[in-house]
Chain A
Amino acid sequence: MALLTVKQLDVHYGAIHALKGLSLTVEAGQIVTLIGSNGAGKTTTLKTISSLLRPTSGDILFDGQSIVGRPTHELVRLGIAHAPEGRGIFANLTVDENLEMGAYVRRDKVGIAADRERALTLFPRLRERLTQSAGTLSGGEQQMLAIGRALLARPRLLLLDEPSLGLAPQVVRTIFDIIRDINASGTTILLVEQNAHMALGVAHFGYVLEVGQIVMADRAETLAKSDEVRKAYLGVG
C-alpha cells in the first residue's frame, strides 16, 4: 500500500504557478526519486509535502489520511522527516545538539540512544566532532549531519532534498551508499536529485519533473535506460 500519495497538487508563489497538477505515489519500503532540472519544482514538492508551503489545490495523503494544512511540526510526529536543501543544519548548535534536535519529538530515551549510535556508526566523522559547533563542519560533513539528524526522528518517510549538492564525487558515493542502508533498515525515502545518474542507481521508482509537471514515471532502471532521460539528464547521447 502507498505510504504517500500526492494528488493533483497545485502550488503558486505569488504569480508563479510552480506545481501544476502534480501527482505521485511512494510505496512503503521503497526509494522513490524525483529528478529534474533546476527550477522544475522538486524542492517545492518536498516543501509542500512537509507543509512549509500551502498548496492552492490538491491533496496529500500520508498513510491514508490527508495531511494538507496540518502544521509542519505535527507531520514530524506522524513520521515524516525532511532534510532540507542547503542542508539546513543549525550552525549555532553543536553537532550533538543538532542530532538531539532530530529526536526532538521522541521521548523513548533508549530508542534515541540506539538511533544516535546508528547515525554515528554510519558517519564516523560526526563522532569525532560531536562537541564542535556545526557551523565549523565542511560541506560533506554538514550533509552527513543533516541525514544523520533526519534518522534520529526515526521517520517512516524520509524526504531528502539534493543530498549530493556541492559534494565531491567520493563523498556523493558514500552518501548514496548510506541512503541505501537507511532504506534497507525499513525507512521509505523520497529523494529529490539533480544527479539523475546516482539517484536512479539507488531508487526503485522514479519520476521526471519538468516545469511543475510530471512528464515521465517508471521503474528506476527503465527510466535510466530511456532515451529521453539519457539525453536530458544523464548527459548521454
Chain B
Amino acid sequence: MAKLLQTLFDGVAVGSLYALIALGYTMVYGILQFINFAHSDIFMTGAWIAFVIAKAAGWAGGDTPIWASLVTLLGSMIFCGLLGFVIERLAYRPLRGAPRLNVLITAIGVSLFLENTGQLEVLFGTQPQRMPTLLSSEPLFRIGGVGLPLVDVVVVLVAVGLMLLLQWLVFSTRLGRAMRAVSFSIPVASLMGVNVDRVVSFTFVVGSALAAAAGFLYAMKYPGLNQPAHSTWILLGLKCFVAAVVGGIGNVRGAMLGGLLIGCVEMFGAAYLSTSLRDVYVFSILILVLLFKPTGLLGKATVEKV
C-alpha cells in the first residue's frame, strides 16, 4: 500500500512536470504544425539558469527562505521566455510556410546550438553540477505511511497553478482566443485583424517560460544536473513530446492529461515491472495510442485536405 501511494505521488509529480513541458510542444505544434525539437533544450536551459541564479545568490540548505525559490523560478522563466522569443524571431520566422522537414531540421540545429553553447566554459561548462537545496526534502506530512516532502508538494502545486493559469489564458482571454484562431488558420485570423507574428512570438514566450518552470522544478526534485549536451535532456523532452502526442497534439488539455498519464505509466512500470525498461513503456504507450487513436486521446480527427 505504501509502495502504491509512493509510486502514485512520484507519478503525479513527474507527470505534472511532463505536462508543463508538453504544453510548450503542443502550443507550438497547434499554431505552426512543427515539432519544436529545441524545446527540450529550453527546459535544460531553465534548469541550468536556476542553478546559476541559486549559486550566484549563495542560496543553499533547507533553511533558505521560500522567496529565494520564487526569485529563482521567475528569473529562469523570464530568461527562457526571452530566449524563446529570440529563437522564434531569428530561426523559425524566416521559415514560415517552408516545408516541414526544413523547419524540423532548423529546430534540430537550434537544439544543437543551445546544447553546445551551454557547454562553453563561460556558461554552464561540460561538468554535471549539483543544484543547491532550496526546498526541504524532509517529509511535510504523511499519508498512509508515505512521507510527502515539501519539494514534491511545491512541484505539483506550481505545475498545477501554471496549468490553470494557461487554461485561463487560452480559453478566457482575448489573446487566448486569438491564439486558438491562429492555430485554426493563419490567414483567416489575420483577416480578423490579428497580428499573427505577435501571437506566434507570444506562444513561444509562454511555452518557453513553462519549460523553464519545469526545468526549475526538475532541478529541485532531481538536483543532479547533467551537462547541457547530455542525452538525458533530449530524452526527457522526447517523453514530454510523447505526452503531448498521446494526449492529442495541439490540444492544451490533452497535453496535461498525456503528461500525467506518461508520468504514471513510467513510474508504475519502473516500480512494479522493471526500472531499466521505463523508456520502453513510454514509447510503447505512444505506439499503441497512435495505432488505435491516431490523433491522440483528446485529439479530433481531421480529414486531410485534397
Direct contact of A and B (CB under 8 A): yes
Nearest Cβ on chain B to A67's Cβ, whole angstroms: 14
* Alpha-carbon gap, A72 to B188, bound state (A): 10
Q: List 29 A-B contacts (CB under 8 A).
A: A50-B191, A52-B187, A72-B187, A73-B190, A73-B193, A73-B194, A73-B196, A76-B192, A76-B193, A81-B191, A88-B185, A90-B184, A90-B185, A90-B188, A93-B177, A93-B180, A93-B181, A93-B184, A97-B180, A100-B174, A101-B178, A101-B181, A101-B192, A102-B192, A104-B174, A104-B192, A104-B194, A105-B193, A149-B192
* Chain B contact residue count (CB 8 A cutoff): 18
B195 at the binding interface (Cβ < 8 Å): yes
* Chain A contact residue count (CB 8 A cutoff): 24
Nearest Cβ on chain A to B144's Cβ, whole angstroms: 42
Chain B residues 160-189 with CB under 8 Å of chain A are 174, 177-178, 180-181, 183-185, 187-189
Chain B interface (Cβ < 8 Å from any Cβ of A): 174, 177-178, 180-181, 183-185, 187-196
Contacts of B184 in A (CB 8 A): 90-93
Nearest Cβ on chain A to B249's Cβ, whole angstroms: 14
With most chain A CB atoms within 10 A of its CB, the pick from B183, B190, B194 is: B190
A212 at the binding interface (Cβ < 8 Å): no
Contacts of B189 in A (CB 8 A): 90, 101
Which residue of chain A lies nearest to B171 when distances are taken between CB atoms in the complex?
Answer: A97
A196 at the binding interface (Cβ < 8 Å): no
* Alpha-carbon gap, A84 to B191, bound state (A): 8
Contacts of A71 in B (CB 8 A): 190, 195
Q: Which 6 A-B residue pairings sit nearest by Cβ, starting from the closest?
A: A76-B193, A105-B193, A72-B190, A88-B188, A90-B184, A101-B192
Contact A76 B191, CB 8 Å, known A91-B184, A92-B184, A93-B184? yes
Nearest Cβ on chain A to B296's Cβ, whole angstroms: 15
Nearest Cβ on chain A to B106's Cβ, whole angstroms: 24
* Alpha-carbon gap, A149 to B212, bound state (A): 38
Contact check, B191 vs A90: say whether CB atoms are below 8 A apart: no
Contact check, B193 vs A104: say whether CB atoms are below 8 A apart: yes
* Alpha-carbon gap, A89 to B188, bound state (A): 8
